[in-house]
């Protein structure tokens, strides 16, 4: 079954706090392993900007993604990570059509 919803977000960390912020997203990835609706949750560090983190997500649908944002574990993570986030930018949403890992 191919997924219906994907998104890429860029998080810019407060200066010098990228690794701390990245750990919050890596923890989130552990939580996402328990959700069958989450097909892929990848965290990457930019090689071009020392404060940027990219989160690449693929879900069975947009509703599943939105529902995950209201989970207690997700809300706690967001609150704990906020002091380390300087800026959030949604790079794009997309409809996955195939490829390795999906």
Domain ranges of the chain: 5-94
**pTM for the model:** 0.90
CATH-assigned architecture of domain 5-94: 2-Layer Sandwich (3.30)
Each residue's pLDDT tens digit, 13-43: 999 999 999 999 999 998 888 899 999 999 9
Report the alpha-carbon distance of residue 9 to residue 61 in Å, rounded. Answer: 17
Helix and strand tally (H, E) in the chain? 3, 4
């Amino acid at each position: 079954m191919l997924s219906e919803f994907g998104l890429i977000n860029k998080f810019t960390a407060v200066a010098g706090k990228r690794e701390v912020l990245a750990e919050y997203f890596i923890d989130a990835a552990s939580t996402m392993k328990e959700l069958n609706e989450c097909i892929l949750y990848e965290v990457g560090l930019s090689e071009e900007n020392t404060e940027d983190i990219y989160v690449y997500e693929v879900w069975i649908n947009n509703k599943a993604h939105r529902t995950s944002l209201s989970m207690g574990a997700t809300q706690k993570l967001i609150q704990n990570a906020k002091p380390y986030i300087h800026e959030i930018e949604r790079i794009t949403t997309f409809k996955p059509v195939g490829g390795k890992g999906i």
